Chains A and B, each alone.
Chain A
Amino acid sequence: MANTKEIKSRIHSVQDTMKITKAMHMISSSKLKKAKKEMKDSSEYFKTLQKSIAEIFQNVPDIENEYLGHKDVEDKKVGYLIVTADKGLAGGYNHNVIKLSQKELSKNPDATLLLVGQVGRSYFGKRNYTIDKFFRYTAQNPTIHKARVICEEIMLRYKENKLDEVYMIYTNEINGLEDEARIQKLLPLEKSDFVTEEADDNDWEMTYMPSAQDVLNSIVPNYVTGFVYGALVMSYACEQNDRMIAMDAATENAKEMLATLSVEYNRVRQAAITQEITEIIAGAKAQKRKKKADE
């Protein structure tokens, strides 16, 4: 059994760690409040945008547009926009995104990566992937302006044919407690991706002003920006939520450890006291006997 000094220093170290996890829990919960508000404000836009784009695309005429349909090229150049956190200690948050990305990347090992978040950058940087662009300070503070910059970068690469397909990997909230990594195709938009079962009575004529071509050219970048913004906000909220849960669990674990350690500490201390007393009594008895013998 370890001695009291050792146990005491162990208790101290656990206590110090617990202070950190507790503080991180508190920070995450206050950040989560802000993130939840942002998510609530943008969720209406995010949902309506997706629904409306789906409706529009079901009726879109078969026209040639650079954003639409397959590009018939061999050796498609695929790009991934991957959203991770800037920091670890968020439970499975980063891990889930990286796992999904890795799975996708095993299909396209030469894919180009556009990264948001420090964790993904250091992970993929070490593994010899082509990182085309890293967006700094975006994971912590998603704004529409940053989404616009990201969208512009993607559009530029797409128009210059440096990328033929672009996917986004982000974290989606399932309910208040759970989330999952998800992949979504950003470009090109395919009509078949939007056609749903319920769209049967929707083959009316639709007027496009000024023209279908112009409308698509204006809507698609908008859609990508909107989607990227929504996904960034959602990922950020999930990150804070995951970190909060992870830190809460860590604090709980630390508490449990402290309880066992303090029991052990008391036992060892008691054992030491008992031993000391036994020694003293034994010593005293020996002295007594010696005195008696001397008389």
Chain B
Amino acid sequence: MSTFELSVIATNRTFYKGICRQVVVSSTDGLLGIMANHERAVVAIVEGETRIQLEDGEWITAVTGIGYVQIQDNKVLIIVDFAEKPEEVDERMAQQALEEAQEEMRQKQSLMEFHISQAKMARAMARLSVKKKYSGF
């Protein structure tokens, strides 16, 4: 199976750098799979899960934040604001952030505050859903 180079870079760490078979990201219109020799493209992605299939067929799952994917010359670059493995997600912190955001959104706030709370909520929900999905076994 043909492979390609992938880098997943978050603000505070390089999450993954290496060869892989395919990667699935959460684009604005839903999950999008990228395989080797994909056409040149730029894709906006939202908070959600990213799955990487390694050369040996094994899958790595991550929850990633807002960002974009750049595909060029069989190289894929994913730039996001955070990337964590399900086991690294602090469920309690995420739950707390979600509740905080819900509380904030119930209050009267400016449009800017609303955007911040909304983004916070999206991050918390993405973390929780990935955590829930992959910690059951």
Contacts and interface: CB of A to CB of B under 8 A. Distances in A.
B28 to A, nearest CB: 6
Contact of B119 (A42, A148, A215, A219): A148
Interface stretch (A10-18, A23-31, A75-83, A202-210): A202-210
17 contacts: A41-B13, A44-B14, A45-B12, A48-B77, A48-B79, A52-B77, A152-B115, A152-B116, A204-B40, A206-B41, A209-B32, A214-B28, A215-B42, A215-B44, A217-B44, A222-B79, A226-B11
A285 B79 CA distance: 95
Interface of B: 7, 9-14, 27-29, 32, 39-44, 66-68, 70, 72, 77, 79, 81-82, 111-112, 115-116, 119
A144 B70 contact: no
Contacts of A208: 41-43
A271 interface: no
A266 B18 CA distance: 69
Contacts of A56: 42, 70
A66 interface: no
Contacts of B10: 45
Interface in A103-157: 144, 148-149, 152-153, 156
B41 A207 contact: yes
A229 interface: yes
Nearest to A56: B42
Interface of A: 38, 41-42, 44-45, 48-49, 52, 55-56, 144, 148-149, 152-153, 156, 204-210, 214-215, 217-219, 222, 225-226, 229
Contacts of A49: 9, 79
B7 A219 contact: no
A44 to B, nearest CB: 5
| Most chain A beta-carbon contacts within 10 A, residue among B9, B77, B115 | B9
A219 B44 contact: yes
A44 B27 contact: no
A210 B12 contact: no
Contacts of A42: 11-12
Nearest to A214: B44
Contacts of B32: 209
Contacts of B81: 144, 222, 225-226
Given A45-B14, A207-B41, 17 more contacts: A44-B14, A45-B79, A48-B77, A49-B79, A52-B79, A55-B72, A207-B40, A209-B41, A210-B27, A215-B44, A217-B44, A218-B28, A219-B68, A222-B66, A222-B68, A226-B79, A226-B81
A215 B68 contact: yes
B24 to A, nearest CB: 14
A219 B28 CA distance: 12
A204 B40 CA distance: 8
A234 to B, nearest CB: 13
B67 A222 contact: yes
Given A56-B42, A153-B112, A222-B66, A210 B11 contact: no
Contact of A48 (B7, B27, B41, B82): B7
Contacts of A144: 11-12, 81-82
B41 A229 contact: no
B46 to A, nearest CB: 8
Contacts of A218: 28, 44, 66, 68
